[in-house]
Chain A
Amino acid sequence: METTIPTAAVPLLELRKICKSFPGVRALTDVDLQLYSGEVHMLLGENGAGKSSLMKVLFGAYRADSGEFFSDGRPITIESPADAKRLGIAVIFQEFSLVPHLSIAQNIYLGREPRNRFGLVDHRKMHLDARAALEELGLAYDTHAYAADLGVAQQQMVEIAKALSHRARVLVMDEPTAAISDREAEALFHVVRKLRGSGVAIVYISHRMKEVFDLGDRVTVLRDGRLVQSMLATAATPDELIAMMVGRSVGTVYKRQYFGEPGKVALDVRQLTTATGVRGVDLQVRCGEIVGLSGLVGAGRTEVVRAVFGADPIQTGHVTVFGEAVTGGPHKVAAMGVGLIPENRKQEGLALKRSVHENLLTASLWKLFPRGWYQAEKARSATKALIDSLRIAPGDPSKSARVLSGGNQQKIVIGKWLSAGCRLFIFDEPTRGIDIGAKTEIFNLIENLIKDGAAVLLISSELAEIVHVCDRAYVMREGVVSGELPRESLSEQNILRLAMHGS
Chain B
Amino acid sequence: MEASVERVSVVRTRRPVPSIVATSAVLAVAAMLGVPGFASSGNVTNIGLQVSILLIIAMPMTLVILSEGLDLSVGALLSLCAVVFAQTLGLGWGMALALGASVAVGMLTGLFNGALIAKLGLPPFVVTLGTLGIAHGIALVLTDGNAVVVGNPSVAQLYAWTILGIPFPVIFALLAYALTHLLLYHTRFGTYVFAIGGNRDALLLAGIKAKAFHIAIYVFGGLMVGLAALVLVGRMNSAEPASAIGMEFDAIAAVVLGGTSFERGEGWLFGTVMGVVTIGVLRNALNLLGIESSLQVVSVGILVLLVVVIDSVRKSRVNGAKA
Contact = CB atoms under 8 A, between A and B. Distances in A.
Interface of A: 81-82, 85, 97-102, 104, 106-107, 110-113, 115, 119-121, 123, 138-142, 144-146, 148-150, 154, 157, 186-187, 190, 275
A140 B11 CA distance: 11
The 5 A-B pairs at the shortest CB distance, nearest first, are namely: A111-B206, A138-B5, A145-B10, A99-B198, A97-B202
Interface residues of B, number: 37
B15 to A, nearest CB: 7
Interface of B: 1-2, 4-15, 182, 186-188, 190-191, 194-195, 197-199, 201-203, 205-208, 264-267, 323
Contacts of A145: 10-12
B199 A97 contact: yes
Given A148-B266, A149-B14, A140 B7 contact: yes
Given A141-B10, A142-B10, A100 B186 contact: no
A85 B190 CA distance: 25
20 contacts: A82-B207, A98-B202, A99-B199, A101-B197, A101-B198, A101-B267, A102-B195, A107-B202, A110-B195, A110-B208, A111-B206, A111-B207, A120-B182, A121-B186, A139-B5, A140-B8, A144-B12, A146-B13, A149-B13, A190-B5
Contact of A110 (B7, B187, B206): B206
Contacts of A139: 5-6
B205 A101 contact: no
Contact of B265 (A99, A186, A190): A99
Given A101-B265, A111-B207, A140 B9 contact: yes
Given A106-B191, A187-B6, 19 more contacts: A97-B199, A98-B202, A100-B198, A101-B198, A102-B195, A110-B206, A111-B206, A113-B191, A121-B190, A123-B186, A140-B8, A141-B10, A144-B12, A145-B12, A148-B264, A149-B10, A149-B13, A149-B14, A187-B4
Contacts of B194: 99, 101-102, 106
Given A120-B187, A142-B10, A101 B4 contact: no
B15 A149 contact: yes
Nearest to A190: B4
A98 B10 contact: no
Contacts of B5: 138-140, 187, 190
Contacts of A99: 194-195, 198-199, 202, 265
B191 A121 contact: yes
A142 B9 CA distance: 6
Contacts of A121: 186-188, 190-191
A91 to B, nearest CB: 10
A81 B205 contact: yes
A157 B6 CA distance: 10
Nearest to B183: A120
Contacts of B266: 100-101, 148
A258 B11 CA distance: 61
A275 B206 contact: no
B318 to A, nearest CB: 10
Contacts of B323: 275
Contacts of A101: 194, 197-198, 264-267
Nearest to A104: B10
